[in-house]
Structure 1
């Protein structure tokens, strides 16, 4: 909990909103269109079904220095398919991000070094090819950023990140 509050203080402009929406075609488009019409900037957006197959959960990260988070929340409630919206920025939450990182390997020595780096970050190598490896890393955004910084020297070929997902504790 303390770490979450410290993180919120370090970057007070990023707000995390969690929206429960009906799991129907077009709902994501409606949310994205609302953000576009109101000129709200989305830092990241992750969507997936919940334990209830009729409900999807959206984790939306916005830059609150450009847009008031409460205003975004009020506007989301105006959409028919939105069930609930909660700003979890200052609540005790578990926040994670997943990234797949493809790194160039020139020889067996580099492959071993990259494997050691993955192990240090409690990540894992999920694919090995002749000239590259893919590493899967899960954790807070700072962890993903840190492993990316370390792997830059080896030559990052491609990166895909999920964006922030969050769940309140308890």
Structure 2
């Protein structure tokens, strides 16, 4: 069986403890969650989990079935990368003197269309939105300069095809 990267989208009611119960489903099966993002969705009072995992399609179908058994879960979907439009965001923090003393840092910022989030006397922060490989390449470029702090968000994604969650929710409430 071929292991692939799958992005699981879960539409849920926003209830206390649901994140723990969902993550436990993965832990019990020894499945590592590569990234996890939770936010409100396009529907009022409905949250959306975006979970990235590496597993077989058979295993992802089984875990979707288990997720949908949670009472607060409205619907769960899984997609491959070619079925999605997705991105991540990363922030890099450096000492301020590097911005002024290292022209190569300025070039990296310009060449990669980075957003300068803040600059003060002691540090500056830049931000990059893009694919994981773009962020990884940027990390490697910045590494020799001494990254003071680095953080990357989980994948956020929308499907290329309609997921009809509004209709599913209307049917669910009947």
TM-score, normalisation: structure 2: 0.81
Specify the alignment match of 1:23 in structure 2.
Answer: 14
Specify which of 29, 38, 48 is matched with residue 39 of structure 2.
Answer: 48
Stretch of structure 1 that moved more, 160-169 or 23-32: 23-32
Unaligned runs of 5+ in 1: 1-10
The structure with the larger Rg is 2
Note the C-alpha offset of 1:151.
0.5
Specify which of 82, 85, 90 is matched with residue 94 of structure 1.
Answer: 85
Q: In the alignment, does 2:52 pair up with 1:61?
A: yes
Specify the alignment match of 1:128 in structure 2.
Answer: 119
Specify the alignment match of 1:147 in structure 2.
Answer: 138
Note the C-alpha offset of 1:20.
0.8
Specify which of 140, 144, 148 is matched with residue 157 of structure 1.
Answer: 148
Specify the alignment match of 1:78 in structure 2.
Answer: 69
Residues 25 and 63 of structure 2 are in contact (CA less than 8 Å); yes or no, is this contact kept in structure 1? no
SS in 1 for 2:106: helix
Evaluate the alpha carbon distance shift between residue 151 and residue 90 of structure 1 in structure 2; reply closer, same or farther with a 3 A threshold: closer
RMSD: 2.2
Distance 2:110 2:62 in 1: 42
The Cα offsets for residues 63-110 of structure 1, whole Å up to 9 and x where unpaired, read as 216x92222212211211111111111553111001111123545222
Specify the alignment match of 1:6 in structure 2.
Answer: none
Would you say how many aligned residue pairs link Structure 1 and Structure 2? 158
TM-score, normalisation: structure 1: 0.82
Unaligned runs of 5+ in 2: 162-174
